[in-house]
Structures are given as structure tokens and as C-alpha cells.
């Protein structure tokens, strides 16, 4: 039996709490800082995910044996290393890679160098700094449009620009490098070849040597129907991805997943945690567009409900380097998640709207994202508010169920996409 702490506050962390709280191996569950959803299943702790000293205090006070890290910030900031190097904390299992390995998400250039070094298919690229701006312009001229510009560092999902006009691309490159458009994150910029194809994400668990594949998923990032409009954190997800047939899956495993995990070992990058590999399928061949060192949100809300195996047992196997000894059982059903967001998101939106109708939902799982429990009322507190997940024999029947459940939920200016899965 273990006391477990989940770091984070979104739908992903509510999904983790939902799954972990079902485990007979979990004694007490904590979430920091959590939300109204996690507070119904666990004790929320008032500490932010990057306050390592604050987290340490709570870990010691509550005898926490395992920390599951939701978002990338604390991983890139070295939370796993912080635990290892502290005498009072080094017995605690941390699910999430060490700092050196978290650079796969923390630096796009690091990720590209890793991909090239290990011969993993990815778009051709070059990286530039303020000092090499002119070379950057020349490189852009050597490419065909559209142009893909990526801020090297963490930019809260906003650091990738895709531009069709060469002059606009040059201006943006300058604004990133010279005018610090994304602050520190755009001190370096990766420019890469545009890949045309359909996207999906694959999720992998690693104990540093062995790996297990988790279900694939696809997310819908744009705010508008038909994948139009601004990028968001994610408006919906489907797992599994219907077009990921066994042939494609075996290519993904052999050409991408295996070389990635082997590459981590060769490069001495300690990795105990989730690897989220963003892929584009070009002429039936998978190519990597990004690594994330955590689970996706809202992909987690569609992937975890399909995992039948006890998640704590899986995490213990990661901690004890024995992932090869367990079998992860997956539900054959399709899971579909639809996000309900605040009107105006991803731009300006209001908070504090009361959410009504949640208690009537039986056939879907509701994961809270930007929602808080204030004096017994559930109020909106973020852009992405709730994730509505349903399971079905196929994505259409699962979707139908999610939309039926959504009909019962209300808050002022509630918005969602009615076309999740439209492209499949």
C-alpha cells in the first residue's frame, strides 16, 4: 500500500486520480494543486507543481511513497533529480524522466539532434540564433512553403508557427530571435521542412530499459470546427485511432518507439515515465514531429479509461525496472473525449460560472479541468473546463454518448466542438 501524490491541476490529473483511486495498492491519494474533480477522490494540496521545497514538505508530512508528475514544467525543471539528490526523498518513486531526458520536450533542438543521432524518421531541419539570422533567411529561401518555425524551449504549446508566406516567415523568425517573441524559449529557433499527412500520437511507458506501448490517440487542437481557428490545449481526443492498423503500428514500434527507448539508454538519459510521441504519417510512413515527456491532455482522458490493468502496479514496475514482467490489458472499446470550454477561449474568457447538471451524468465519465469547488458549488476556473469521455464499440457510438451527456451540462457561454472525429 502506498501514499501517492499526483502533480498537476487539469483533466489529465483528474483522470490519473480517477484511475489510481481504483487501485487496491493506493492507500491515500493527494493531488497538488488539483481541482474540483480531484478533490472528490483525493486530498488537494495547496502547492504549485514547480515549488519543489513545498512539495518536499508535503511528501514528508504525508509519508508519500510515489509522485506522479502530470505536466512538463516540473520535469524539465528537474523534479526527478531533486528527489534523487535529497536524502529524505530518494526512496520516493517518481514517475517522470530526469532533467537530462526531459530535454526531449524542453528543447526542440535537443529532440531533433536525438532523432537524427538515432536515425529516427523526422523532418529535415536547421536551428538558428540571433547571430545566425541571415543564415536563417537563406535556409527559409531554400525550402518550399509552408514554413515551420519552432521556438526551441517551452512555450506553453504556442511556440510553433506555420506560415505560407516567405516574408511573413522571415519577419516571424526575426521577431522570435531578436525581439524574444516567446521570451527565453525563442533564443533558438528550429526551422523544419513541412510534412504533409495525418497526425496521431503514440504513448509509451519506459522504465529506463523496457517499454510498453499504450493505446494511440488523436487530439483536436484547433478551436473551430473543421480544424479551423486558433490552437488550443486540445478540444477532444479519440483512442484508438481508427486508421492505426497493425501494419502502421508495427512500423511505429520498430522505426520509432524501439530506437527512441534504445537511444535513451545509449545516450544515458534516465527515463522512467511516459513518452508521448507526436507523429505525422507521410505516404504510410510515420515521422516524428515532437516528443513530450508526459501524457497528453485531453489524450489521457481517452487513453486511461481503456487501460484495464492497475496503474499503480504499472508504476511500481516502472520504479523497479520490471516493466517487462507485466502485461498491460487494454479495453477494445473506443474512447472519445469532448472538451467543454469557456466562451472566448483560447483568447479572453470569463471565469467563475456555475456548472450545472453534472450529477445527472451516468453514461459518461466527467473529468474536471478548469473547475473549482467553491463553497459546494462547481465553478469554471479555466479555459478548458470539463472533459466528457464515453466508451463505445466504435468512435461514432462513443461520440454520440458524449454529446448526449453534454446536453445535460450547462454553464454560461459554454463552448465545444460538435465535429470531433470529422476527419476519420
Q: Residues interacting with ligand GLY, by CB under 6 A?
A: 157, 219, 234, 292, 296-297, 299
105 φ, ψ (degrees, to nearest 5): -100, -30
Q: Is residue 194 a contact point for ligand AMP (CB under 6 A)?
A: yes
Please report how many Cα atoms fall inside a 13 Å half-sphere around the Cα of residue 54, on the Cβ side.
11
Q: With CB cut-offs between 5 and 8 Å by kind, which of ligand AMP, ligand GLY, none does residue 109 bind?
A: none
For residue 165 the three cell numbers come to 508566406
Q: Which of 25, 84, 160, 326 binds ligand AMP (CB under 6 A)?
A: 160
Between residues 66 and 293, which has the closer beta carbon with respect to ligand GLY?
293
Residue from the set 54, 77, 121, 278 that interacts with ligand AMP by CB under 6 A: 278
362 vs 301: CA distance, rounded Å? 17
Between β-strands 365-368 and 384-392, what pairing exists: parallel, antiparallel or unpaired? antiparallel
| Of 290, 299, 301, 310, the one binding ligand AMP by CB under 6 A | 290
Contact call for residues 94 and 5 (beta carbons, < 8 A) = no
Query: What DSSP designation does 413 have?
Result: T
Minimum distance of ligand GLY from residue 60's CB (angstroms): 31
d(CA 264, CA 376): 47
Which helix H or strand E contains 167, and what residues bound it?
helix 166-177
Matching residue, cell 516493466: 323
Contact status: 199 vs ligand AMP (CB under 6 A):
yes
Closest approach of ligand GLY to the CB of residue 190, in Å: 17
Would you say 23 or 206 has its CB closer to ligand GLY? 206
> Among residues 148 and 379, whose Cβ is nearest to ligand AMP?
148
Choose the one of ligand AMP, ligand GLY, none that binds residue 227, judging by a C-beta under 5 to 8 angstroms depending on kind: none
Number of residues that bind ligand AMP (CB under 6 A): 10
Choices 15-23, 191-199, 242-250, 294-302 (CB under 6 A): range interacting with ligand AMP: 191-199
- Using CB distances below 5 to 8 A depending on partner kind, what does residue 234 bind out of ligand AMP, ligand GLY, none? ligand GLY
Q: Considering the rule CB under 6 A, would residue 121 count as an interface residue with ligand AMP?
A: no
* Neighbour tally for 376: CB within 10 Å: 5
Which C-beta is closer to ligand AMP: that of 62 or that of 194?
A: 194
Residue 40 as a binder of ligand AMP (CB under 6 A): the answer is no
**Torsion from C-alpha of 19, 21, 25, 27, nearest 10 degrees:** 160
Q: Give the span between the Cα atoms of 265 and 259, in whole angstroms.
A: 10
Binding flag, residue 145, ligand AMP (CB under 6 A): no
The residue range among 18-26, 36-44, 165-173, 188-196 that interacts with ligand AMP, by the rule CB under 6 A, is 188-196
Query: What residue has cell string 501494419?
Result: 247
Please report the DSSP string for 5-62 in residue order: EEEE-SHHHHHHHHHHTT-TTEEEEEEEE--HHHHTTSEE----TT-HHHHHHHHHHT
Q: Which does 148 bind (CB under 5 to 8 A by kind): ligand GLY, ligand AMP, none?
A: ligand AMP
204 or 289: CB nearest ligand AMP: 289
User: Which residue has cell 519506459?
Assistant: 206
**Near ligand AMP by CB under 6 A, which window of 194-202, 208-216, 300-308, 345-353?**
194-202
Candidate residues 289, 338, 398, 399; the one interacting with ligand AMP per rule CB under 6 A: 289
219 binds, among ligand GLY, ligand AMP, none (CB under 5 to 8 A by kind): ligand GLY
> If binding is defined by CB under 6 A, does position 123 make contact with ligand AMP?
yes
Q: Where do runs of H (alpha helix) occur along 232-334?
A: 246-251, 258-266, 299-303, 311-319
What beta strand segments (E) does 263-358 contain?
A: 273-282, 285-292, 334-342
Site of interaction with ligand AMP (CB under 6 A)? 123, 148, 160, 192, 194-195, 199, 278, 289-290
Amino acid at each position: 500500500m502506498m501514499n501517492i501524490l499526483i502533480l498537476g491541476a487539469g483533466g489529465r490529473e483528474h483522470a490519473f486520480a480517477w484511475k489510481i483511486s481504483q487501485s487496491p495498492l493506493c492507500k491515500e491519494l493527494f493531488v497538488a494543486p488539483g481541482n474540483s474533480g480531484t478533490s472528490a477522490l483525493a486530498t488537494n494540496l495547496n502547492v504549485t507543481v514547480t515549488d519543489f521545497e513545498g512539495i518536499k514538505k508535503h511528501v514528508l508530512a504525508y509519508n508519500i511513497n510515489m509522485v506522479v508528475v502530470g505536466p512538463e514544467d516540473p520535469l524539465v525543471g528537474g523534479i526527478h533529480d531533486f528527489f534523487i539528490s535529497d536524502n529524505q526523498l530518494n526512496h520516493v518513486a517518481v514517475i517522470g524522466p530526469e532533467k537530462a531526458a526531459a530535454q526531449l520536450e524542453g528543447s526542440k533542438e535537443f529532440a531533433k539532434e536525438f532523432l537524427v543521432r538515432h536515425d529516427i524518421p523526422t523532418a529535415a531541419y536547421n536551428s538558428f540564433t540571433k547571430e545566425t539570422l541571415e543564415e536563417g533567411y537563406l535556409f527559409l529561401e531554400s525550402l518550399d512553403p509552408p514554413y515551420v518555425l519552432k521556438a526551441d524551449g517551452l512555450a506553453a504549446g504556442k511556440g510553433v508557427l506555420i506560415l505560407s508566406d516567405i516574408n511573413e516567415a522571415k519577419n516571424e523568425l526575426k521577431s522570435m530571435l531578436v525581439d524574444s517573441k516567446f521570451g527565453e524559449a525563442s533564443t533558438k529557433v528550429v526551422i523544419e521542412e513541412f510534412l504533409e499527412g495525418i497526425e496521431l500520437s503514440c504513448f509509451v511507458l519506459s522504465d529506463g530499459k523496457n517499454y510498453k506501448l499504450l493505446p494511440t490517440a488523436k487530439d483536436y487542437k484547433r478551436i473551430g470546427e473543421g480544424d479551423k481557428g486558433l490552437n488550443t490545449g486540445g478540444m477532444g481526443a479519440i483512442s484508438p485511432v481508427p486508421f492505426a492498423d497493425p501494419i502502421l503500428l508495427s512500423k511505429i514500434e520498430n522505426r520509432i518507439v524501439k530506437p527512441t527507448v534504445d537511444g535513451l539508454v545509449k545516450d544515458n538519459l534516465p527515463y522512467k515515465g511516459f513518452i508521448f510521441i507526436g507523429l505525422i504519417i507521410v505516404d504510410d510512413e510515420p515521422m516524428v514531429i515532437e516528443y513530450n515527456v508526459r501524457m497528453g491532455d485531453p489524450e489521457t482522458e481517452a487513453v486511461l479509461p481503456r487501460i484495464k490493468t492497475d496503474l499503480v502496479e504499472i508504476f511500481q514496475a516502472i520504479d523497479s525496472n520490471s516493466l517487462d514482467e507485466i502485461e498491460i490489458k487494454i479495453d477494445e472499446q473506443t474512447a472519445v473525449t469532448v472538451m467543454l470550454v469557456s466562451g472566448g477561449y483560447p483568447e479572453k474568457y470569463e471565469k467563475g460560472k456555475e456548472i450545472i447538471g453534472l450529477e445527472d451524468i451516468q453514461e459518461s465519465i466527467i473529468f474536471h479541468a478548469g473547475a473549482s469547488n467553491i463553497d459546494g458549488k462547481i465553478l469554471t476556473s479555466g479555459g478548458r473546463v470539463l472533459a466528457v469521455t464515453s466508451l463505445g464499440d466504435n468512435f461514432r457510438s462513443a461520440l454520440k454518448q458524449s454529446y448526449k451527456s453534454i446536453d445535460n451540462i450547462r454553464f454560461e457561454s459554454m463552448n465545444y466542438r460538435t465535429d470531433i472525429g470529422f476527419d476519420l
